[in-house]
Chain A
Amino acid sequence: MSNSKNITSTNKYQSESILQKRVRNFKKIKRAYYSLLAIGIAYFLSFFAPLLVNNKALVVKYDGSYYFPAMGDLLGEGFVSHYDADYFGQDEVFGEKRYGEPHFRELKKQYKSENKGNWVLMPIYSYSPVENLLGELEGNPPTAPDSKHILGTDNRGRDVFARVIYGFQISISFALIVTFLSYILGILIGGTLGYYGNKVDLYGLRFIEIFSLLPFLFIIIILSSFIKPSFFTLILLLVLLRGWIGITYYVRGEFFREKARDYTAAAIAMGASTPSVMFKHILPNALTSVITFAPFALISNIGTLIALDFLGFGLRPPTPSWGELISQGVAEDISYWWLIVTPLFMIFITLTTITFIGEGVRQAFDPREYSKLQ
């Protein structure tokens, strides 16, 4: 095993595989390649958002011991023990007795003025997306951007910047899972239709046609009024009601074509089982063209989530969401421009980047040189 690995890596005369060629092609398209890098890094960093944008302290030094409250958000509640405000010697915040979670920004000021060797290290941006700031805001929310809240606050007094940052991770994760599951379902159904053909295909197609006629946004709204969907039920609803349909059509077409090829006949003649023919032999060949529109599927899924949130039937509040901010911006007074401009900017940057990636992937997979006579 190690021997063969050695050969491939040292033999420079071996021709590169199709995949390697495509990756090389993709890297040549700078706009797409850098977009992929940018969004990849941003998505990776977004998992560390609790350490970057949070109202909990990174480190608290109190009475000679060190505490790491923000790590609890990153790793999960169980990993870091939880302490109430009075444990850290914080009795009053804004003239009121503080119960439960300490107010770390005030604690920092408190320790500074006490000067007893205690200190608090806050994250770079010290507000949380779900923290209600009504108590400390000057004026009624939504407040315009200022030095404290660089992108202002929303109508419940929550920091807009923190919300759009967390919204990024939620949107991307959501769309990635929806896309992935849609692909699995679409491949299963489309593969079956394309492989078996005839009656299976005929009836299957009628069924899909019926399904594609349903106004799925409305159906989701009707269903979600009594399911009250969580993150994963909403994903399932999207996958089952709409996600798989487009992919099914494509995979079906590919399977039709590939099934007529000689290698499929050879595999069947050699006695390969049906699942083996379908998924081991045909699928890898059918998949390439379907993969190219994964980025566009991702875009449409992000769009759907934003639309649902915008209509008020998306993820449960107080989940940070771009669509919800836009709906606030439109519903309230149109003069709260930051409620619309901020999420729209995030949507725009994210989706444009993914579009560039998608266009790059398409070109890399299908490097047709357009010739034109002059």
Chain B
Amino acid sequence: MFKYILKRLLLMIPTFIGATLLVFLILALVPGGPFERAVFQIQAAQMSSGEGGGGGSSVEGSSQLSPEVLDQLQRQYGLDKPLMVRYLIWLGLYPRETKSKKVAYDKPFRENLEYFKTGKRSRTYELQRWVRVRKEGGKDIVEVSGVGTDFKVDKGEFSRFPELPFADNIPKWFPNEEWKVKEVVDVYEVKDTSANVTKSIQVGKDFEVSFFVKSTETPTIQEDGKPEGYNKVTWVRVTPDNGGLKTEEGVVTSRISRNGDKVSTHLMQSDGSIKKVKYERDKQMYDYIETWKPASSWQKTVTEQLANPTQTAFSGIFTGDFGTSYVYDQPVLTLIGERLHISLFFGLIGFILSYMICIPLGIFKAIKHGSKFDFISSAIVFMGYATPGYAFGALMLVLFGGGSFLDIFPLGGFHSPTEVWEQMSWWEKVLDQLHHTFLPVLSYMVSAFATLTLLMKNSLMENLGQDYIRTAYAKGLPEKKIIFSHAVRNSLIPIATGIGGLIGVFFAGSLLIEKVFNIDGIALLGFQAVVSVDYPIFLGFLVFSIIILVLGNLISDICYMLIDPRIKLD
């Protein structure tokens, strides 16, 4: 038995990886993910603040997010790494960059180690230390100071730490292994001697290309006799070239127009004709430049070198790090933990009640097969099967939720609002909870009811026709004993196999009911995460639901074994 369970648990790992990888792929390939959403929000903010100088057309400038901002965003969403690496990082099998900084040599910075609250007003303090990168004999060395607090703490356990002095006053620096210098970034100043334009560009290991605007003109161009708001932009492209940099210039004259929902880009070709192309949000204006001409008027000088000390750690699903929600800005595990008990509460009650009612009902129906009771209860059970649980819930709300008819039950929620809930006595809390629980649990049960009852009935009927029952009757056993200790036990086997599936239904599949009753459970959290492209939460939810489903299957099989000693699974 133990061996069997162990084997099953090990088999879960490839299944788990397969399922999560599949979802990971889908999320990565579907456009409109969190990265695009963030880009769009920044663009929208620029538009509304008038930045990026649109002039006549409101979309103008929206596609002019600077490459640096895009690069930073990509890093933030981890898109600067290949898909498989991102997946491994998420699992916790590949080191994640936990802290990363770009600093000049011999310029210390403060590293936050821990937050704590203390004092009368419970102010937030930080435990910090200084970190600096030094060059010694051509090698980069990271050194740290001792640990101190950001402000003086008088009382409590943290008072043993001194206030961290200024970096100049640090008496002793210690070499540190946690920080590693990942790369060294050269900061170039690119300067156009003729136009007096200066731009600073950071060239690191991964540097491929950088674009910036040299000049913008608004020429008057006639299209269909109407003067149109075109922008003639001179772009500069900087690419690495034999350890140095290469600068090129290109010109694009364009206008973005909006006609209802249709946004299009008008491009002026070199011969003066206008080409209209579909507007693409993630296409930058410089992507339309056809010819880049080498521009030698640019001076390229290295002004400074920045080191990039980085801390990495294995931190992912396997180490219990589910990431941080983009929307709530809280750890996913906390968010799910806050809601898990709500889903479990409804699921568990519905689950237990279903079994407690369906099994006796099924037995009774089997014994009374063909009677009026059997016929009527079957009809009712079928009707229950034909009603989706959440739709039934909606109907109950209409009838008893105080809209048009009776006002018996609350409209939803896990319990009364917190302000009211806090004021209640223990007994009132119990009543309030029951009051809020009744309708959702009823909805949970409606659909599972039919399957379970009929399964129990049919299974018992089949067993009652078997020879061993005939034998039991023949040898004169009382009917009660025959039915309950012989037939029922055997007919529970198919019910037991259903337990696992139902666990999944009750714990992970209750989104619609949670939505109708406004219950803040994990399924609703997952749904909201999908709608607001908050993928860390969705992936966290996925992990939980997969684990619940897989464990459910395992529980089925174990129940199977416990009820039927003939079955040996290993």
Shortest distance in angstroms between A29's beta carbon and chain B's nearest beta carbon?
Answer: 12
Known interface pairs A221-B530, A341-B395, A355-B386; A213-B30 also in contact (CB < 8 Å): no
Name the A residues within 8 Å of B402 (CB-CB): 334
Q: From A163-171, A259-267, A304-312, give the one contacting chain B.
A: A304-312
Assess the B26–A222 pair: CB atoms within 8 A: yes
Name the B residues within 8 Å of A355 (CB-CB): 382-383, 385-386
**B16: nearest residue on chain A (CB-CB)?**
A213
Assess the A223–B30 pair: CB atoms within 8 A: yes
Q: Which of B377-395 contact A (CB under 8 A)?
A: 382-383, 385-388, 390-392, 394-395
Q: For the complex, what is the distance from the CA of A219 to the CA of B535, rounded to whole Å? A: 12
Tell me if A218 is interfacial: C-beta within 8 Å of chain B: yes
Assess the A329–B398 pair: CB atoms within 8 A: yes
Size category, A interface: 35 or more
Assess the A352–B383 pair: CB atoms within 8 A: yes
| Interface set of B (CB-CB < 8 Å, partner A) | 14-15, 18-19, 22-23, 26-27, 30-32, 369, 382-383, 385-388, 390-392, 394-395, 397-398, 401-405, 411, 461-462, 464-465, 469-470, 473, 508, 511-512, 515-516, 526-527, 530-531, 538, 541-542, 545-546, 549-550
Q: From A45-53, A272-280, A366-374, give the one contacting chain B.
A: A366-374
| 6 closest residue pairs by CB, A with B | A351-B386, A334-B403, A335-B403, A210-B18, A352-B386, A370-B461
Q: Which of A222, A226, A326 has the most CB of B within 10 A?
A: A222
Q: For the complex, what is the distance from the CA of A86 to the CA of B479, rounded to whole Å? A: 83
Name the B residues within 8 Å of A217 (CB-CB): 511
Q: For the complex, what is the distance from the CA of A343 to the CA of B387, rounded to whole Å? A: 11
Assess the B18–A206 pair: CB atoms within 8 A: yes
Name the B residues within 8 Å of A218 (CB-CB): 526-527, 530, 538, 542
- Select one of A206, A213, A219, A330 contacting B397, CB under 8 A: A330
**A322: nearest residue on chain B (CB-CB)?**
B391
Name the B residues within 8 Å of A225 (CB-CB): 30, 32
Tell me if A359 is interfacial: C-beta within 8 Å of chain B: yes
Known interface pairs A355-B386, A370-B464; A307-B30 also in contact (CB < 8 Å): no
Q: For the complex, what is the distance from the CA of A330 to the CA of B527, rounded to whole Å? A: 17
- Select one of B395, B508, B526 contacting A340, CB under 8 A: B395
Known interface pairs A299-B386, A334-B398; A311-B403 also in contact (CB < 8 Å): no
Shortest distance in angstroms between A203's beta carbon and chain B's nearest beta carbon?
Answer: 11
Known interface pairs A222-B27, A334-B398; A354-B512 also in contact (CB < 8 Å): no
Assess the A334–B391 pair: CB atoms within 8 A: no
Name the A residues within 8 Å of B462 (CB-CB): 368, 370
Shortest distance in angstroms between A342's beta carbon and chain B's nearest beta carbon?
Answer: 11
Tell me if A240 is interfacial: C-beta within 8 Å of chain B: no
| Contact string against B for A residues 128-165, beta-carbon threshold 8 Å, 1 for contact and 0 otherwise | 00000000000000000000000000000000000000
Assess the B30–A215 pair: CB atoms within 8 A: no
Assess the A373–B469 pair: CB atoms within 8 A: yes
Q: For the complex, what is the distance from the CA of A42 to the CA of B402, rounded to whole Å? A: 35
Assess the A347–B387 pair: CB atoms within 8 A: yes
Known interface pairs A210-B19, A335-B404; A340-B394 also in contact (CB < 8 Å): yes
- Select one of B15, B405, B527, B549 contacting A337, CB under 8 A: B405
Q: For the complex, what is the distance from the CA of A343 to the CA of B369, rounded to whole Å? A: 34
Name the A residues within 8 Å of B530 (CB-CB): 218, 221-222
Name the B residues within 8 Å of A352 (CB-CB): 382-383, 386
Shortest distance in angstroms between A241's beta carbon and chain B's nearest beta carbon?
Answer: 10
Shortest distance in angstroms between B312's beta carbon and chain A's nearest beta carbon?
Answer: 30
5 cross-chain CB contacts under 8 A? A211-B22, A311-B511, A335-B403, A355-B382, A372-B369
Q: For the complex, what is the distance from the CA of A217 to the CA of B545, rounded to whole Å? A: 13
Name the B residues within 8 Å of A351 (CB-CB): 385-387
Q: For the complex, what is the distance from the CA of A178 to the CA of B201, rounded to whole Å? A: 56
Assess the B461–A215 pair: CB atoms within 8 A: no
**A332: nearest residue on chain B (CB-CB)?**
B403
Known interface pairs A299-B386, A333-B403, A337-B403; A306-B469 also in contact (CB < 8 Å): no
Known interface pairs A210-B22, A352-B386; A370-B369 also in contact (CB < 8 Å): yes
- Select one of A299, A307, A340 contacting B398, CB under 8 A: A340
Assess the A344–B395 pair: CB atoms within 8 A: yes
Shortest distance in angstroms between B384's beta carbon and chain A's nearest beta carbon?
Answer: 10
Assess the A226–B26 pair: CB atoms within 8 A: no
Name the B residues within 8 Å of A329 (CB-CB): 394, 398
Shortest distance in angstroms between B69's beta carbon and chain A's nearest beta carbon?
Answer: 24
**A368: nearest residue on chain B (CB-CB)?**
B462
Assess the A306–B388 pair: CB atoms within 8 A: yes
- Select one of A206, A222, A311 contacting B515, CB under 8 A: A311
Q: For the complex, what is the distance from the CA of A372 to the CA of B370, rounded to whole Å? A: 11
**A221: nearest residue on chain B (CB-CB)?**
B530
Tell me if A232 is interfacial: C-beta within 8 Å of chain B: no
Q: For the complex, what is the distance from the CA of A215 to the CA of B515, rounded to whole Å? A: 16
Assess the A214–B461 pair: CB atoms within 8 A: no
Q: For the complex, what is the distance from the CA of A307 to the CA of B386, rounded to whole Å? A: 14
Assess the A330–B516 pair: CB atoms within 8 A: yes
Q: Which of A199-239 contact B (CB under 8 A)?
A: 206-207, 209-211, 213-215, 217-219, 221-223, 225-226
Name the A residues within 8 Å of B401 (CB-CB): 334
Shortest distance in angstroms between A74's beta carbon and chain B's nearest beta carbon?
Answer: 30
